[in-house]
Chains A and B, each alone.
Chain A
Amino acid sequence: MRVTVKLFAAARAIVGQGEVSIELKEGSTVGDLMEHFFTRHPELKGIAGSLLLAVNREFAERSVNLQEGDEVGVMPPVSGGTDA
């Protein structure tokens, strides 16, 4: 199955791409997908603990099963708005 991965902010900077299409084995989870990235981008693994993940625009845990056509978001903790 094929999923679309969207990366943002520091995660995008590390991977060097904002959007990637990836072929995964049936039954793969969000965690399996992240291992795919960690192998290729060890620096991403360095911030793994703080990364937020989303499936189809809803925050998701690593245990969530992926389906064909899913959109996965990989992002650092949010920092919008203001520091005021």
Chain B
Amino acid sequence: MLRITENPLSAEGAISAVTKRTCGAVATFIGVVREFSRGRQVSYLEYEAYPEMAIAKMRQIEEEIRNKWEIEQIAIHHRVGRLGISEASVVIAVSAAHRQPALEACTYAIERLKQIVPIWKKEVSPDGSYWVGMGS
């Protein structure tokens, strides 16, 4: 359920992976590549991960979530490599018996992912490329 992949992501795949008969809700988040970033046009993004540590940190996020909310399953799939405009970089799906824990856990998962999961992106634009997060 926790995955780093170079292949295109499937939201439907993540949803069906977390859906169980006991679930009444599945909350999803899909992060997609936006054409404009901080006023600059983006041609494409290049994502890089520290895969073993990224999976370990995703596991930590799942543990934190299970300590806070009653959820059934969680899937976090992050893509690496070259991604074009509107392609999905991350898909998160959380299932639970009820909607509130599913929605809250899904929000928490993407916020924590952006804090502690070692994945980086390089923005490639018509006038050059740069790594995001270096104070730019």
Partners in one complex: yes
- Distance in Å from the Cβ of A64 to the closest Cβ of chain B? 15
Count of chain A residues with a beta carbon within 8 Å of a chain B beta carbon: 24
Count of chain B residues with a beta carbon within 8 Å of a chain A beta carbon: 31
**Residues of B contacting A50 in the complex (Cβ-Cβ under 8 angstroms):** 134-135
A47-B134, A73-B50, A73-B53 known; A78+B114 contact, CB < 8 A: yes
State whether B32 touches A79 (Cβ < 8 A): no
A81-B90, A84-B32 known; A6+B50 contact, CB < 8 A: yes
A-B pair number, CB within 8 angstroms? 90
> B99 on the interface (CB 8 Å rule)?
no
A8-B118, A75-B120 known; A80+B131 contact, CB < 8 A: no
Neighbour of A76 across the interface among B49, B116, B133, CB < 8 A = B133
Pick from B110, B116, B119 the residue with the most CB of A within 10 Å: B119
State whether B31 touches A81 (Cβ < 8 A): yes
**Residues of B contacting A84 in the complex (Cβ-Cβ under 8 angstroms):** 31-32, 34
State whether A78 touches B110 (Cβ < 8 A): no
**Residues of A contacting B119 in the complex (Cβ-Cβ under 8 angstroms):** 78-81
Closest 8 A/B residue pairs (Cβ): A82-B31, A80-B119, A79-B133, A9-B120, A57-B53, A79-B132, A10-B131, A77-B133
Residues of A within 8 A of B (CB): 6, 8-10, 12-13, 47, 50, 52, 54, 57-59, 73, 75-84
